Amino acid sequence: MDVMRRVRSFVRREGRMTDGQRRMLALHWQQYGIDWQGGRLELDQCFNRQAPHIVEIGFGMGASLALMAQANAGQDFLGIEVHRPGVASLLRTLAKREIGNVRVISNDAVDVLDQAIAPASLAAIHLYFPDPWPKRRHHKRRIVQPAFIDLVASRLQAGGVFHMATDWEDYAHSAMAVLSACPGLLNCAGEKMFSARPEYRPLTKFERRGQRLGHGVWDLIFERRSAG
């Protein structure tokens, strides 16, 4: 995975943390956080049960992840986020709503998928509104690149789905080309077609505001083909 190590998805960012956010990390990290230092994770042990495992990459402030986990108690969600204020916000929400089927890792998502997640072990990987790196000279920094998608496909079980959403049309079409070229994935909406937003993906305040302004959002949902 040398290529993936050169193109990192994120760098940990502390941001401007309030005293309250630091308190949330201190109070709730032991319950929800995973201090990953490398090596394979046994997700069933992390959640103390056997259930479908879903990874969300870059959950922001965590509102959508918390809603999805609360609405799907039979699934287990692993959130990966390097923005520490966002991690603190999610921990506060999880504790307040007593949501027990979420765990959090604050490390680079590419490293986590590569080293911590077993092949063919995930029911889904979600990537919602990743950094679009809008300037053309920065497009190479976008996380959706062929090597990353090959890694994603290898971590999905047969029938598992990769679901991306973006409000940048250029990124949507770029991602469509990359995903369509991956032999292990099949477009659930049909060749070169975008999907309607599924009910399980919450409509965020940011997205509602964009809709009022006439901004578009593009969902791409691809399924892992069976080995046969």
CATH number at residue 173: 3.40.50.150
Domain that holds residue 149: 2-34+48-224
The yes-or-no answer on residue 131 being catalytic is yes
Residue 158 placed within a domain = yes
Residue ranges for the chain with pLDDT beneath 70: 1-15, 228
Residue 89 placed within a domain = yes
Q: What is the pLDDT of residue 47?
A: 97
Residue 113 placed within a domain = yes
Q: What is the pLDDT of residue 226?
A: 86
Residue 11 placed within a domain = yes
Strand partners for 163: 126, 221
Q: What is the pLDDT of residue 6?
A: 45
H or E stretch covering 171: helix 169-180
Residue 41 placed within a domain = no
Q: Under a CB-based contact definition with an 8 Å cutoff, are residues 38 and 110 in contact?
A: no
Query: How many independent structural domains does the chain possess?
Result: 1
Residue 43 placed within a domain = no
Can you tell me the distance from the alpha carbon of 126 to that of 24, in angstroms, rounded to the nearest whole number? 25
Q: What is the pLDDT of residue 83?
A: 92
Residue 126 placed within a domain = yes
Q: What is the pLDDT of residue 15?
A: 59
Catalytic annotation, pick one of 131, 150, 167, 219: 131
Q: What is the pLDDT of residue 212?
A: 82
Q: What is the pLDDT of residue 211?
A: 79
Residue 178 placed within a domain = yes
| Reported pTM | 0.91
